[in-house]
Amino acid sequence: SQQGEEDPQALSIQEGENATMNCSYKTSINNLQWYRQNSGRGLVHLILIRSNEREKHSGRLRVTLDTSKKSSSLLITASRAADTASYFCATGDGGSNYKLTFGKGTLLTVNP
Amino acid sequence: DSGVTQTPKHLITATGQRVTLRCSPRSGDLSVYWYQQSLDQGLQFLIQYYNGEERAKGNILERFSAQQFPDLHSELNLSSLELGDSALYFCASRSGGAGDTQYFGPGTRLTVL
């Protein structure tokens, strides 16, 4: 079953604009990670935020985490056509196996 | 390049058949995870191995099995294949230390005809 639910399911923007994607989850987590997937290809790890962190930055990426609302957001600033991909949030429960539970993803299209 | 390799990239087979998917984790990573990605179910965790031992099971069918070998590579065996088994199968590896990042391979696309 899906843990996270990304919102929106699809997002289309122009190059240079910012893109914001949201993720909600249901159970307690140890960490939350964001991955990118180009069409039909492997998942690329973008950023990990731990449950005791509220915000994290990596280049043009900014991730926030609100554990009280069980939600996270991923902001991509100054988007580029190469950012076109599906973005997934994944939660880790921190158990000894560290398995990830993925949301259904947001399809981001950046138009040149 | 994540450092995780998977073979084959594509696999086309018929219903009822058996296939084996192979994964080599990043150098030094002890944990291997298998995930299935399909249009209707999304990305689902199947099974995890750590240093040769099964650690966790997710939504893995009884027709599916996996193992991790002494050299840490892993194989996922899918038998009595059905049309609904068509999907992308990913493996991911993790060091097993404090860091929680999983690094994914490029996947194997399985098509069952």
Q: Structure tokens of B76?
A: 């996922």
Residue A61's CB: how many other CB atoms inside 10 A?
Answer: 16
Q: Residues of chain B whose C-beta is under 8 A from some C-beta in A?
A: 2, 31, 33, 35, 42-45, 48, 50, 55-56, 58, 88, 90, 92, 94, 100-107, 109
Distance from B106 to chain A by nearest Cα, in Å?
4
Q: Angle B58-B68-B7 (CA atoms, 0-180°, nearest 5)?
A: 90
- What number is the average pLDDT over the span A62-83? 96
Half-sphere exposure of A74 (CA within 13 A, CB side): 32
Rg (CA), chain A: 13
pLDDT by 10s per residue, chain B, length 113: 889 999 999 999 999 999 999 999 999 899 999 999 998 888 999 999 999 999 989 989 999 999 999 999 999 999 999 999 999 999 999 876 656 788 999 999 999 99
Q: Structure tokens of B104?
A: 């994914």
Considering only the beta carbons, identify the residue of B45, B103, B104 that sits closest to A101.
B45
The pLDDT assigned to A74 comes to: 97
* List of chain A residues whose C-beta atoms are within 8 Å of the C-beta of residue B109: 40
Distance from B17 to chain A by nearest Cα, in Å?
24
d(CA A82, CA A56): 22
- State how far the alpha carbon of B79 is from the alpha carbons of A46, B22, B37, in Å: 34, 15, 18
d(CA A104, CA B46): 16
* List of chain A residues whose C-beta atoms are within 8 Å of the C-beta of residue B58: 99
Q: Is A83 helix (H, G, I), strand (E, B) or coil?
A: helix
Q: Structure tokens of A105?
A: 């993803």
- What number is the average pLDDT over the span A2-30? 87
